[in-house]
Structure 1
Amino acid sequence: MHTFNVHGVAASSGIAIGKVQVVSNAFLEVQHYKIKKADLDNEKNRLSQAIALVKKDLKNIKKDINQKSSSDFSSFIDIHLMMLEDKNFSFYPQEIIKSEQCNAEWAIKTQLDLVISKFDAIDDPYIKERKLDVTQVAERLIKILLGHQHKKNAQKNPFSTILVAHDISPADALQFKNHNYAAFITEHGGTNSHTAILARGLAIPSIVAVKNARKLIKNNDLVIVDGDSGLAIINPNDQILKEYEYKKNLWEVEYKKLLKIKNVKSTTLNNHVISLMANIEDLGDIKSVLESKAAGVGLFRTEFLFMNRDDLPGEEEQFETYKSIALSMKSKPVVIRTLDSGADKATAADTIQATNPALGLRAIRLCLSHPHFFLIQLKAILRASAFGNIKILIPMLSSLGELKQVKMLIKRAKDNLLSDAINFDKNIEVGGMIEIPAVAINAEAFARDLDFLSIGTNDLIQYTLAIDRTDDSVSHLYNALHPAVLKLISNTINAGKKYGKEVAICGEMAGDPKLTKLLIGMGLTNFSMHPASILAVKKKILESDSSKLKNHAIKLLRLSDAEKIETLIQKINQ
């Protein structure tokens, strides 16, 4: 057989070798046909039954999630269950069946095309991800209506199998776990797509955004998936196969070594303590935080409490969530970021569709424009602070004027609680996200007026380089090692040092082991990342001498050529 390579985006690390199973697209099989008027009610009932069956399947999958599964799975399934209740599935397709006298499959596809066209007209990364959710739910419905919803799960393959699909829904990924799939290759997605998140949670090597994968790769092809480089080798010869079998064994040995350092203190060779914190999205993530031995929660993204619902969570609901996290972490710090809504994270609070969401009314701007619901969140956080070591983090600050308004609202929230004789931490720390270049440049002023700083590298890089990393046409220009980005990070770290304020990084850079030594050399002592990344970063810390790395960092920050910076990074990591 002919050997060839395909390339995509590396989404989940590791090496897998196995035979291919291609998953077809149910939408390709949908045919349009007329329904007699006398049979329209039966056709509408057929759709209702399909919706009920999908709900039942999803609930069963959620129930079967074992203790090792990431809490991301449950939240993804909840999203799909809520979508089935939405009029786009529960009402409008029924109307299409009635008005067009068509079959239920065609009604679902017609309604989906309408919804997708609306999504495509909105330049919003979060909406793009929701488009995938809607498509996945519609596909599950169509498979049931076509009568072969379980076809791809019918056989358990005792051998390693590489799944090739257009995209993978969270619910399907859970079922795939029980079928010993060794890797995923998808035509769609990015590093933060559902497929990538789920693959990392399952520790399954994954490559996404492989164009025309289902046309190029055939059933039963032997494939090597290199999840670190984003490379898939189809029908490798014996020499290549032996080489990757050796690499796969090495990777497995290295992973077992990582588990041995789980309980080792995170310190450099010259005894500098580096704090490794965890980023979380909901209460269910606490289990993985505790298992990873994280030093605390460095970022709780509260917007996930507000998403995928038509209303806003009240003070009691928020308080109970924050309190539960604080109690679970005991005395360890829990940094709660106030609502970071807008741009890629739409909530019921977003009543205005911005022309450019990333630059519009989002995050703290949105909260300050709606002080009533912001006050509710602040009071909930303050009340929870009586039960643990909670800190408040303000996202997307752009001026000291905004910070002044935030402090006034925090004081008002405190005064309200005092008047009601409700206990809270009166000395609760307030920090700010450094994710806008203007603030990073002016970091000293913010370090002076805040208790701590947290660098959000994802937005900082995008705003600095004017690049949307979800846009395939320019995503290759998204570069964490751009000299301007590194200078902004260094300036922020130095500002914190000058005023004795803690500085953390909570963006994707924190969880990238290739950048760990550089960041230590730049003076960073607090990293916050996905719990799954902690051990790999800790390994780099244990191998580091911060005094030697400081000299490398000084040299690197003088460079203006990104390629030379990349070369020096490789030398630092050798």
Structure 2
Amino acid sequence: MSFQVFGIPVSRGVAIGRAVLVASSRIDVAHYFVPQAQVEQEVRRMLHARDAAVSQLESLKDDITDDAPHELGALVDVHLLLLKDEDFSAAVAQWIRERHYNAEWALSAQLEVLARQFDEMEDDYLRERKADVEQVVGRVLSVLAGEVSAADAVAQRDFAGEDPLLLVAADISPADLIQFKRSVFCGFITDIGGKTSHTAIVARSMDIPAVVGTREASRLILQDDWVIVDGDAGAVIVNPSPIVLEEYRFRQRQSELERARLARLRFTPAVTLDGQKVELHANIEQPSDAAAAIDAGAVGVGLFRSEFLFMNRQGDLPSEDEQFEAYKAAVEGMKGLPVTIRTVDVGADKPLDRLSAAELRHEHVLNPAMGLRAIRWCLSEPTMFRQQLRAIYRASAFGKVKLLIPMVAHLNEVRATLEMTRRVKQQLLDAGIGHTDVQIGVMVEIPAAVVVLPLLLKHVDFISIGTNDLIQYTLAIDRADEAVAHLYDPWHPAVLQLLFQSIDLARRAGKDVSVCGEMAGDPAFTDLLVGMGLRSFSMHPTQIPAVKQRLLRADTQRLEPLVQEILKSEDPKEAADRLLGGYMQIAH
């Protein structure tokens, strides 16, 4: 039966494929594909963990005293029966052999299948036995958590000749998305999330259609269902009819032709009609992303999100040398073009596996978006922060590097960072380790930073405006919460005023200013931003061609007075549609 689910479109385009369900938040496990050569080893790993769990329960049963409640022994027996059920183990092994899931993913996938079967049972007692299955799977997962996986990282799996795959989940962490980025999915769907949640941002960097905030998709869609993801309309069509399928396949072909046309602009300089040069930089998460930035025609990296080097590490933070090699690879990959490295920005929707500050964990803090995150965490962990700064300065010997401090609200945070960089440079000098001067900038993400920007500009070389958090903190909207996603408004008068003030203050102070948030990569805001005086954008590499096309058609002399009218309007979005829409018709 065909049906539709609607959510929030976060990455444009159409994807068609078979659904691959990732375990819900019931159990949090790592998800990755196992190479064909390691499949049987992964099956043995799962069986070994099962046998270890059996031994644990048998030892527990032997320790039960005679005066213990009879129900306790009976419960252990039930769990032992479940663990020793060969059908259950065979089903888990099938996920590994046929889907190449790692053992943890296979266990949780089978749990999802059984959980649905229990939920459909009419008998209350049998329905409640779902909890026993969850506990048994949890015990095996606990055993696996203490082992090293058969695969060190996400495997590149060869799906030549097989159906394309779509990822369906209650939610996907940014860290998991980074792993899936090197994998095989052509689109994804989640139950929760907002348009500018970090998960959505990484999805756009993968350049695959995505819909989030569907609420029920992971419970309604079954494994292997044929699914269409309409990333433009925010629609998910499950088991489409042949007519609908053919219509969307036509749209796919049209989208591919449009991308090919835009790709021809990649090495065309971004210069407006009236001769204003605009720099288009790329946002990246991994050193390997530098190649995509070069291919897209980026003139540098405006934002290297270093926190992704810290994720999916089972609690171990990267060493100074490991970070240095990563930053060096990114710098060399950009072939002499500048690379702006943001110091680690964790917390909120990007928690680490292990944090010394428990406040960063969602379960221990009421509002992680306003807790110990970004520069606040870095300054609370000086040893870690010094290691990162040394690694960044060491990488500066191999190309042009800039340092970006996230979530600055206080001048003291800038002063503390500058003092730490001074000490780091002296340490490197004393040790005879090569490095160069590095420009230091701050991210403007908090309204307070805009208010004190004249003070901050006296101490830094440049600013970068992170519009995602700036909108979130200005409007008091959790950008990852689909329940309030409709209130997240980049066109809000307060947001636009803060944007214009930041750009204007930086230009008057003779300091470089860039926008690196999602507004920078959205062509709907290109005319507005360039009309505000912005001459440096940073976005995902895949967004550069469309923004460049808009810039090539822009006339800043005509845009600037229109933007002033928009800023004075009670309804900036309506004013922009009217004024900029008319401008575009005249321009063409």
Q: What TM-score, normalized to structure 2?
A: 0.71
Q: How does 1:246-395 map to 2 (within 5 A)?
A: 247-309=251-313, 310-347=315-352, 348-353=354-359, 354-395=365-406
Q: Which stretch of the first structure deviates more once superposed, 202-211 or 276-285?
A: 202-211
1:141 — aligned with what?
Answer: 107
Equivalent residue for 1:58, pick from 19, 29, 33: 33
Whole-Å Cα distance in 1 between the matches of residues 160 and 386 of structure 2?
Answer: 54
Structure 1 gap segments, 5+ residues each: 31-50, 65-80, 109-134, 149-155
Whole-Å Cα distance in 1 between the matches of residues 356 and 108 of structure 2?
Answer: 32
Q: CA deviation at 1:298?
A: 0.8
| Counterpart amino acid of residue 366 in structure 1 | W
Equivalent residue for 1:424, pick from 406, 421, 435: 435
Whole-Å Cα distance in 2 between the matches of residues 532 and 318 of structure 1?
Answer: 26
Query: Would the aligned equivalents of 1:481 and 1:566 in 2 still touch at CA under 8 Å?
Result: no
Whole-Å Cα distance in 1 between the matches of residues 577 and 454 of structure 2?
Answer: 31
1:400 — aligned with what?
Answer: 411
Q: Deviations over 1:223-267 (max 9, x none)?
A: 764321213467989998897676555433322211111221122
Query: Would the aligned equivalents of 2:287 and 2:329 in 1 still touch at CA under 8 Å?
Result: yes
Query: Would the aligned equivalents of 2:4 and 2:236 in 1 still touch at CA under 8 Å?
Result: yes
Q: Deviations over 1:533-561 (max 9, x none)?
A: 11121121122112222122111111233
1:44 — aligned with what?
Answer: none
1:507 lines up with 2:517 in the alignment: yes
Query: Would the aligned equivalents of 1:97 and 1:103 in 2 still touch at CA under 8 Å?
Result: no
Q: CA deviation at 1:317?
A: 2.1
Query: Would the aligned equivalents of 1:205 and 1:226 in 2 still touch at CA under 8 Å?
Result: yes
2:124 — aligned with what?
Answer: none
Whole-Å Cα distance in 1 between the matches of residues 344 and 295 of structure 2?
Answer: 27
Q: Deviations over 1:97-153 (max 9, x none)?
A: 864345589679xxxxxxxxxxxxxxxxxxxxxxxxxx99744225579999xxxxx
Cα distance, 1:542–1:145 mapped onto 2, change above 3 Å: same
Q: How does 1:51-90 map to 2 (within 5 A)?
A: 58-60=33-35
2:87 — aligned with what?
Answer: none
Query: Would the aligned equivalents of 1:453 and 1:496 in 2 still touch at CA under 8 Å?
Result: yes
Whole-Å Cα distance in 1 between the matches of residues 521 and 81 of structure 2?
Answer: 43
Q: Kindly, what percent of the aligned residue pairs are identical?
A: 40
User: Secondary structure at the residue paired with 2:317?
Assistant: coil
Q: Number of paired residues?
A: 491
Q: How does 1:93-108 map to 2 (within 5 A)?
A: 95=56, 99=60, 100-102=76-78
Cα distance, 1:505–1:60 mapped onto 2, change above 3 Å: same
Whole-Å Cα distance in 2 between the matches of residues 542 and 453 of structure 1?
Answer: 25
Query: Would the aligned equivalents of 1:96 and 1:107 in 2 still touch at CA under 8 Å?
Result: no
Query: Would the aligned equivalents of 1:294 and 1:534 in 2 still touch at CA under 8 Å?
Result: yes
Whole-Å Cα distance in 2 between the matches of residues 352 and 294 of structure 1?
Answer: 39
Q: CA deviation at 1:447?
A: 2.1
1:474 — aligned with what?
Answer: 484
Whole-Å Cα distance in 1 between the matches of residues 538 and 50 of structure 2?
Answer: 39
1:536 — aligned with what?
Answer: 546
Q: Deviations over 1:284-303 (max 9, x none)?
A: 22221222221111111122
Q: Deviations over 1:334-368 (max 9, x none)?
A: 11111222222233454232442222222212222
1:126 — aligned with what?
Answer: none
Q: What TM-score, normalized to structure 1?
A: 0.72
User: Secondary structure at the residue paired with 1:403?
Assistant: helix
Query: Would the aligned equivalents of 1:105 and 1:145 in 2 still touch at CA under 8 Å?
Result: no
Q: CA deviation at 1:25?
A: 8.1
1:15 — aligned with what?
Answer: 14
Q: CA deviation at 1:453?
A: 0.2
Q: CA deviation at 1:465?
A: 0.7
| Counterpart amino acid of residue 502 in structure 2 | T
Query: Would the aligned equivalents of 1:224 and 1:236 in 2 still touch at CA under 8 Å?
Result: yes
Whole-Å Cα distance in 1 between the matches of residues 248 and 325 of structure 2?
Answer: 49
Whole-Å Cα distance in 2 between the matches of residues 184 and 463 of structure 1?
Answer: 28
Q: Deviations over 1:418-477 (max 9, x none)?
A: 22232321x321101111101112222222321000011111111111111111211221
Cα distance, 1:58–1:243 mapped onto 2, change above 3 Å: closer
Whole-Å Cα distance in 2 between the matches of residues 340 and 103 of structure 1?
Answer: 42
| Counterpart amino acid of residue 228 in structure 1 | D
2:534 — aligned with what?
Answer: 524
User: Secondary structure at the residue paired with 1:497?
Assistant: helix
User: Secondary structure at the residue paired with 2:457?
Assistant: helix
2:151 — aligned with what?
Answer: none
| Counterpart amino acid of residue 140 in structure 1 | A
2:472 — aligned with what?
Answer: 462
Q: Which stretch of the first structure deviates more once superposed, 386-395 or 232-241?
A: 232-241
| Counterpart amino acid of residue 474 in structure 2 | T
Equivalent residue for 2:424, pick from 413, 418, 425: 413
Q: CA deviation at 1:305?
A: 2.0
User: Secondary structure at the residue paired with 1:376?
Assistant: helix
Cα distance, 1:562–1:96 mapped onto 2, change above 3 Å: farther
Cα distance, 1:432–1:142 mapped onto 2, change above 3 Å: closer
Query: Would the aligned equivalents of 2:21 and 2:109 in 1 still touch at CA under 8 Å?
Result: no
Whole-Å Cα distance in 2 between the matches of residues 494 and 458 of structure 1?
Answer: 19
Structure 2 gap segments, 5+ residues each: 61-75, 85-100, 115-158, 360-364
Whole-Å Cα distance in 2 between the matches of residues 404 and 194 of structure 1?
Answer: 28
Query: Would the aligned equivalents of 1:483 and 1:560 in 2 still touch at CA under 8 Å?
Result: yes
Whole-Å Cα distance in 1 between the matches of residues 504 and 255 of structure 2?
Answer: 37
Q: CA deviation at 1:193?
A: 7.5
Q: CA deviation at 1:277?
A: 1.0
Whole-Å Cα distance in 2 between the matches of residues 173 and 392 of structure 1?
Answer: 26
Q: Which stretch of the first structure deviates more once superposed, 190-199 or 488-497?
A: 190-199
Whole-Å Cα distance in 2 between the matches of residues 457 and 226 of structure 1?
Answer: 25
Q: CA deviation at 1:276?
A: 1.1
Q: CA deviation at 1:567?
A: 3.1
